[in-house]
Structures are given as structure tokens and as C-alpha cells.
Structure 1
Amino acid sequence: MTGSLDALFAAVVAFVGGHFLLGWPSIRAALIEQIGANRFRAVFSLAAGVAMVWMVLAYGDAPYVTIWEPPLWTRWIPNVVMPFAAILLVCGYNPFSPTAMMADEDFDDPHLVRGILTVTRHPVMMSIGLWALAHLTVRGDAASMLLFGGMAALAFGGMVKIDFKKRAEFGAKWAPFELTTSVLPFRAILEGRTRLDWKGIGWLRLGGGLALWAALYSAHPYIAGVSAVPM
């Protein structure tokens, strides 16, 4: 189950592919009809959790096979990107986000587009995607390319899937939210479709994101086995 690149590849496919397979509208609807929404969520969470543990263990046990040697200057990229990614992650866990809760009544809120949603309508997925891309720039081995490449595919593909699903499910109710937000951070602000909501983001969430980044930065040698400090 671990100890080879093949095992890691299988684990990444199970984790990433499982999200897309179980989240596919027709499959999801059929399973919910058969076992109910609560049991579906439980099964989905269990399957994702098992696959994630397998993927992490397989990555840790995978052999180091060099594909390319990243230049030393690329080590600055994660250090620039990760504070922003951590802020997106912390700010993204809000109960009013329709991309997180997918509740129909959310679209009746005239102040729906607020907080971090003025930056991107997929803050958590964007955080994961930026984390994956940033680490792809500094890890040139096959195992890292499989892991971070798979996570990038999950994050960016997931954003496309969510938009497609919500557009089909909610139609006209979803359109105003989509038109006043953007996937790419700050795009809707730069295009004048919304305003940055500093007050909605709040200093507490901003500080929480930076605290998370600082904790991960300090713990990086113990988590990943290498220092995050650029040389």
C-alpha cells in the first residue's frame, strides 16, 4: 500500500478521483436517494479521510526520484504565497459562503458578497491550490509532483465543478453571486464588480491566518523534514 511511486499514484487517484466521482451530480443524487443525505456525508467524509491518510503515508514512504532541480531562488515562492494562502484558508471557513454551505436561502441575502468572498468566491479551494502550486516550484522529485500536482488538480478542478454545479442547480439565483465575485483573487475588485470588504474580513481572521502561517512555518522542519527558511 506504500513504499513505491505506484502506491502513491494510486493513493492520489483515490483521494482526488474520489472527490470528483462522489461529488458528480448524478452519482451524488443517486447515493443520497439510496442512503440519505446524512449517511452520504458520513460515507464521503470517511472515504476521503481514509484516502488522505493513505496518500500522506504513501508520500512519506515513496522513493526520492529527481525529475528536475529547482533553482535556489524558487524557495522564496512558498514564503511569499503561503501567508496569503493561510489567510484565505482561515477566512474561508464562514457560515455565510454559498460555495461552502450550498444553501438555497443564502441567495436571498442582499449582503451575501462580503468578507473574503469579495476577494475570491472559493477561498478554501484557492488556498489549497496556491499551497500546491507554490510547493511544486520547490520540489522537483516525482513523489512531490504526484502529491502537489494532484492537490492542485483537485483544488482548481473543484472550483470549476462547483461553479458548474451551482449554475445548473440554482440558475438565476446563482447568477448575481457569480457576476459580483471571481475565482481569481481580486479580479472582481479590479474589474469594478465588487469592493474589497475589509470590515467583513476582520482583523481577527486576518491575524488568525497569519498565526496559522507562522505556526506552519515554524513547524515545517518537523512536518516536512526541511526548513522553510530560504537559503
Structure 2
Amino acid sequence: MRDDWLTSSHFVMFGLLIGFAIAHSGLAALRPYAEKRIGARPYRVIFALVSLPLATLLIVYFIQHRYDGLRLWNVQGVPGVEPLVWALSAISFLFLYPATFNLLEIAAIQKPQVHLYETGIIRITRHPQMVGQVIWCIAHTLWLGTTFMLVTSAGLILHHLFGVWHGDRRLTQRYGEAFAAVKARTSVIPFLAILDGRQTLEFKEFLRPAYVGVAIFVLLFWFAHPLFIQATGNLG
């Protein structure tokens, strides 16, 4: 076994993830106070100006160093693994993006608001972003098999697990008993509330443009993925 596998990139990536988590969750915690003082739209712009560059930096650094460290396994040539990774990645995007987001609010075209949802994918899990991130990490950890990927996955999952607690706490402070009722009828673990009868699955609620948009995005990303990897790898 190599004795030089623990490269500095492991620590840099984990540090970048901690920095992003502090900025992202910290700004989310400050939202109620900041919006009262400067308004919802300006605060959304500030949030984006902080979060998007940090997220871009994380993505670029991850792609450039994804094979760093020790290669624990290599299943990239095993039949069926690549379609499985793509299928899991597509599912992860369905959880990550269209679940609770109004794109016009994200872009501050409409006034950003805090919503109390209990429909669509929230019936499956109250924290779809966390579930989507875990699925994405499983898929990419399987595909890459490196210690760097394990560090990346650990950081991302820990951040989103914290987000479960942090998000529930903020909604409890804002909505009180109304959120407690939603919390009682939903679950963090996917499908648990449906299986134990607290919730039902309404397929018609998934007939939304957002899901069509994500499906198109996944298809386009599948074709553009090699070019995206190449372009990112050429960055300094």
C-alpha cells in the first residue's frame, strides 16, 4: 500500500466543505433578521453572491482532484455499473432540485418566501435535498472509489444531516404548531411516513414542469458531461 496517499487535497476539500456549510447555513439562519432590514430580494442576491462562487469552487476543485489519494476499488469496467451510477445520479437530481424550489424566487424575480410544503416529493421525505445528496454521494463514491471521494462524501452528507436539524429548527421557530403538524405527518427517512400510514403518495403531484425540466437537464448533462469534465480540468 502506498504511504503517500493522504494528499493535501483531502484536507483542502474538507476545509472548503466546512467553509461552504458555515456560509450557507449561517446565511440561512440570518435570513429572518436580514430580510426585515434590507428586504427579501436584496438578501436573496447576497445569499447567491456568497453561495454560488463557493459552490463553483467546490465543484471545480472536486473534479480536478477526484482521483487523488488511494484507489480503494475500481468497478468502472464492471458491466452494469455505469448505467447504475447514471440512474442513481438522475434520481438524486429529482430529489435535489425541484422539490421545494420556485425558480423565480431563487432568482429574486418573485419575492423569496419561506414555504411550508406537504405535497409532492415532501410526502416521500421531508428533506429531499439531504436524500438527493446522499444518493449522489453513493453513486459517485461507487464510481470513483478513492479516499478523496470518501472525504468529499463524508463532508457533504454531514452538512446535509446538519441541514435536517437546522431546517426543522428554523421552520419550528417560524411556524410553531403548524410545522409540528407537518412534521408529524412526514418523515426524514424516505417512504417511512407512507409505509406507516401517516402519508399517502399522490402521483399527480409529480406532474409539474420542474420535474420535466430536471429530466431534460439530466439528459443534456449526460451528453455534455465529458466536455464539462474536460473544461473543468483545464482550469488552473
- Asked if these proteins are the same fold (TM beyond 0.5), I'd say yes
> Which of residues 8, 13, 16 in structure 2 aligns to 1:8?
13
Encode CA deviations 1:196-225: one digit per residue, 9 max, x unaligned: 010111275555444333333333333346
* Structure 1 residue 86 corresponds to structure 2 residue 90: no
- Distance (whole Å) between structure 2 residues aligned to residue 34 and residue 204 of structure 1: 34
1:149 aligns with 2:154: yes
Residue 181 of structure 2 is aligned to residue 169 of structure 1: no
**Per the alignment, do residues 101 and 153 of structure 1 end up closer, same or farther by CA in structure 2, a change over 3 Å counting?**
farther
**One of 31, 52, 56 as aligned partner of 2:55:** 52
Q: 1:55 to 1:174 in 2, by over 3 A?
A: same
Does residue 1:22 correspond to 2:27, yes or no?
Answer: yes
2:220 maps to 215
- Counterpart Cα distance in 2 of 1:37 and 1:214: 34
- The answer to whether the aligner puts 1:43 opposite 2:50 as a matched pair is no
CA gap 1:75/1:66 in 2 versus in 1, 3 angstroms: farther
The answer to whether structure 1 residue 62 and structure 2 residue 65 are counterparts is yes
Q: Spell out, residue by residue over 1:9-60, the C-alpha distance to the aligned partner (whole angstroms, 9 max, x if none).
A: 4322221232233334xx5555556655544333222111121122223234
Q: CA deviation at 1:66?
A: 3.0
Q: Which moved more, 1:185-194 or 1:66-75?
A: 66-75
Match of 1:201 in 2: 206
Distance 1:136 1:167 in 2: 34
Q: 2-side partners of 1:60 and 1:68: how far apart?
A: 16
Percent identity for Structure 1 against Structure 2: 22
Contact 2:74/2:145 (8 A) holds in 1: no
| Structure 1 SS opposite 2:143 | coil
Inter-CA distance 20–62: structure 2 relative to 1 (3 Å threshold): same
In 2, Cα distance between the equivalents of 1:80 and 1:53?
Answer: 24
Q: Is 1:102 aligned to 2:102, yes or no? A: no
Q: For residues 7 and 210 of structure 1, do their structure 2 counterparts lie closer, same or farther at Cα, with a shift above 3 Å needed?
A: same
SS of equivalent residue, structure 1 residue 174: helix
Equivalent residue for 1:124, pick from 129, 153, 157: 129
Report the aligned-residue RMSD: 3.2
Cα deviation, residue 92, structure 1: 0.9
Q: Tell me which amino acid in the other structure corresponds to 1:175.
A: A
Flag structure 2 segments of 5+ consecutive residues without an equivalent.
Answer: 1-6, 103-111, 231-236
Q: Could you tell me whether the CA contact under 8 Å between 1:118 and 1:196 is conserved in 2? A: yes
The question of whether the paired residues in 2 share the 8 Å contact of 1:4 and 1:61 is answered with no
1:67/1:164 Cα in 2 relative to 1: closer, same or farther (>3 Å)? farther
In structure 2, what is the Cα distance between the partners aligned to 1:130 and 1:220? 19
TM-score of the superposed pair, with normalisation by structure 2: 0.71
- Decide which of 136, 140, 158 is 2:163's aligned counterpart: 158
Task: Name which of structure 1's ranges 76-85 and 184-193 shifts more when overlaid on structure 2.
Answer: 76-85
Aligned partners of 1:16 and 1:154 also within 8 Å: yes
